[in-house]
Structure 1
């Protein structure tokens, strides 16, 4: 039974379970990770997980809901004519909150879990919206070319979200400044 008198201890146990699940789901995937392994890594009794998360899917849903989001902040440091600089600054201040492990989980599990796919779609949509807005401010004359701005914004957002996966696949870190420069050149 959960000890209602010690909320700090409860939060610590729950956090350890989520930390362990994040690490394991990112490495081996949700389906390949039994809750007993999560419990072992979290250093908690196996049956304790079910007191916090009745089903294994509840662990994944909690991770996605609690550890991935884009903070509300529409401030953009856009300079007309400076597309690359605008995108570079946006990449540095973009309030995307998802660890590299969570980004791997999102991309890996989106095909098989609706709640993960929905969260990934919302994150991507918000990043595209912000990148499109920033590009529109930096390139005011491009308003008539909405399709090109949409593609540029979508490309930029995808690289920000999937940069950890790309690094794992290629062994090379993706430089957001280089991506910003490439996208800027494609729009002028």
Structure 2
């Protein structure tokens, strides 16, 4: 029984999507393992098991592969209008809960790519900047809610939120590079004590 043209077109579309996905999968693995600069398009094509020309068909320049990975495979969840979870009088517990809900949705490989390539690629740096801004916003709001009497001391709350954000973001980078782990609960407790709670 001959296939009609819509069946053939559907199979071609699935094959094209599959090839594009394989290229991105290969690039994600290589960039995470070797870095962007050390991963040639030929190596990406070889790992994806596609002709090198097909990589350029979907991604005219190698940087387009990285930008697409960042755009399609990382997501920073933005805080909605409702307040963050906070327990009045318990800033350490509030920050600890916040640390468990880092608003970055990305595979471990994509997290390595983000931190490795942030210094040299604008789109990666922008995504990390959004993550930093979002964590800071959540930490500051959480501290304001956990310490309602301290709202008049915005400067101290901002420094505390920035410190907590820096540790969380640094921890993401540190653990992916070295396996070393900074306990966010201990950091939350330290910040709470510094705020006099």
Q: Is TM more than 0.5 here?
A: yes
Give yes or no for contact 1:100–1:164 (8 Å, CA) kept in 2: no
Larger Rg: 2
Unaligned runs of 5+ in 1: none
When normalised by structure 2's length, the TM-score is 0.82
Take 1:73 and 1:118, find their aligned partners in 2: how far apart are those partners?
A: 17
Aligned in 2, Cα 1:113/1:67: closer, same or farther, shift over 3 Å? Answer: same
Encode CA deviations 1:98-146: one digit per residue, 9 max, x unaligned.
Answer: 2332232222222222222222212211111111111111111222222
CA RMSD of aligned residues (A): 2.2
Unaligned runs of 5+ in 2: 1-7
Offset of 1:170 from its aligned partner?
4.7
Aligned in 2, Cα 1:181/1:73: closer, same or farther, shift over 3 Å? Answer: same
Offset of 1:35 from its aligned partner?
1.0
Q: Is 2:142 the counterpart of 1:134?
A: yes
Offset of 1:71 from its aligned partner?
1.8
Encode CA deviations 1:152-184: one digit per residue, 9 max, x unaligned.
Answer: 222222333332321255542233222222222
Aligned in 2, Cα 1:44/1:89: closer, same or farther, shift over 3 Å? Answer: same
Aligned to 1:109: 117
Counterpart pick for 1:5 among 10, 20, 23: 10
Offset of 1:10 from its aligned partner?
3.0
Aligned to 1:90: 98
When normalised by structure 1's length, the TM-score is 0.86
